[in-house]
Structure 1
């Protein structure tokens, strides 16, 4: 969705864990076709990607923990809502000087 909405012109780093989906041929091809550079941290070293690790931790604690989704579509919709409404618009981040990601982008684009 980010590729579709933003259409990055410059190379963009994509932080992820070491899950097998991120080493698949499909993922590598997708990244290559869309000017993305995949990055994973070394095994056992979460500090390489602290911001990504923090996001996934927040997602799990604040939204997914103890929920059972009846369908994959319901899970996708709920996670989308968390990212677009809660995380990007409302949730303040210390590494963004106390701004939400949406607020930070407005300030940074000026």
Structure 2
């Protein structure tokens, strides 16, 4: 199944400076897209926003943040 995401690369064949977004796209495609069908662009946008605002930032732990959620990490480092 093709999702037709456009990958952002700075130089031909060198996506390393965009590794964070590539990791996000990989997670999004694996965790949300299987079995989903969007009938409108608005549905796709709302699904993405819901994923970011209710799950990815507040529930999903990240190994590069010492196994904290982004929200927990920002809260702990707010005054650092």
TM-score by length of 1: 0.59
Higher relative contact order (CA 8 A, sep 6+): 1
- Of the three residues 22, 44, 49, the one matched with 2:18 is 49
Equivalent residue for 1:99? 68
Contact 1:92/1:98 (<8 A) preserved: yes
CA RMSD in angstroms comes to 1.8
Query: How many correspondences in the alignment?
Result: 74
Aligned-partner Cα distance in 2 for 1:68–1:95: 31
TM-score by length of 2: 0.79
> Higher strand share goes to which structure?
1
Q: Which runs of 5+ in 2 are unaligned?
A: 1-6
Deviation at 1:42, TM superposition (A): 2.2
Q: Which runs of 5+ in 1 are unaligned?
A: 1-16, 19-39
